[in-house]
Structure 1
């Protein structure tokens, strides 16, 4: 497995993984992913086995500590250095689950964030996923101020300094 920057040609496989891992209300649209590929090329990573996308991670590096719902509608531009690395999505193909792909993607983005002097990494997740992120060094900061897809989301954060 290799972890590489995303390519626009990865979009069909990314969308298939997105739809397999999230409800229709939770999932990002194809247009949103096209925008993320264009605006976040250095913080959109893909785990691949040859031409097959096994999973991906994407999010902006911004001044805000946590994800805000409006960021899903209009992708922020990455800060060059500093700020907080947010994670909109970590998603793994059903065929590659239980192989630590998600953890390896988190580590790869964390390494990039540290190299760019980010203060922290943060994401929101559903309650059932909290243990996975805690096992990867994240701390549950409580219920997020989010109404995305009508779900209850939790802020998870990992200090990088």
Structure 2
């Protein structure tokens, strides 16, 4: 049985934000990881866009992002929750994180599938994200198209713009 068979994907709860930040710190380099205070602010602004992977009561992964009116993910969105558009046409992905011990078992795919479904359920036109070169192929499996190299310089890294338009 795959690891993902035991996992439930559900909306995050306020008391889980600290665990979400811990997972982010494990999965991303310090220059790219979102600090706890920023996660708390994001969660207070758009809690409906936070989903967790719950394995028998343990949070082992998550996905989150804000809404935007245009199919773009500028760096400012990561740091300024006032730019979140409650009724925005596009759902963004700020991060999808799965603890290393649970990676390669389909949990990231379950998180992404639920997030895409959420975008459709809420009437979005699509989902927008940026990713590094080695992840382009993984996102393409969900229907994302590489638009090109992103203008983002988040964390000093090179990113690719990826769009999934419904």
Residue 63 of structure 1, CA deviation? 0.1
**Structure 1 position 108 matched with structure 2 position 114:** yes
Q: Which residue is equivalent to 2:3?
A: none
User: How many pairs align?
Assistant: 159
Please, which runs of 5 or more residues in structure 2 have no aligned partner?
1-6
Residue by residue, what CA displacement relative to the aligned partner does 1:83-109 show, whole Å, maximum 9, x if unpaired?
011110111011211111111111111
Assess if the C-alpha contact under 8 Å between 1:63 and 1:83 holds in 2.
Answer: yes
Residue 78 of structure 1, CA deviation? 4.3
Q: Which residue is equivalent to 1:79?
A: 86
TM-score computed with the length of structure 2 as normaliser: 0.90
Say if 1:78 and 1:56 are closer, same or farther in 2 by CA, change over 3 A: farther
Q: Distance in 1 between matches of 2:101 and 2:16?
A: 17
SS in 2 for 1:90: strand
SS in 2 for 1:42: helix
TM-score computed with the length of structure 1 as normaliser: 0.93
Assess if the C-alpha contact under 8 Å between 1:122 and 1:158 holds in 2.
Answer: yes
Q: Which residue is equivalent to 1:31?
A: 37
Q: Distance in 2 between matches of 1:35 and 1:98?
A: 30
Please, which runs of 5 or more residues in structure 1 have no aligned partner?
none
Instruction: From the two aligned structures, give the one with the greater helix fraction.
Output: 2
Q: Distance in 2 between matches of 1:95 and 1:35?
A: 28
Q: Which residue is equivalent to 1:121?
A: 127
**Structure 1 position 44 matched with structure 2 position 46:** no
Structure 1 stretches of 4+ with a deviation exceeding 4 A read none
Measured on the aligned residues, the alpha-carbon RMSD in Å equals 1.3
SS in 2 for 1:9: helix
SS in 1 for 2:34: coil
**Structure 1 position 62 matched with structure 2 position 68:** yes
SS in 2 for 1:111: helix
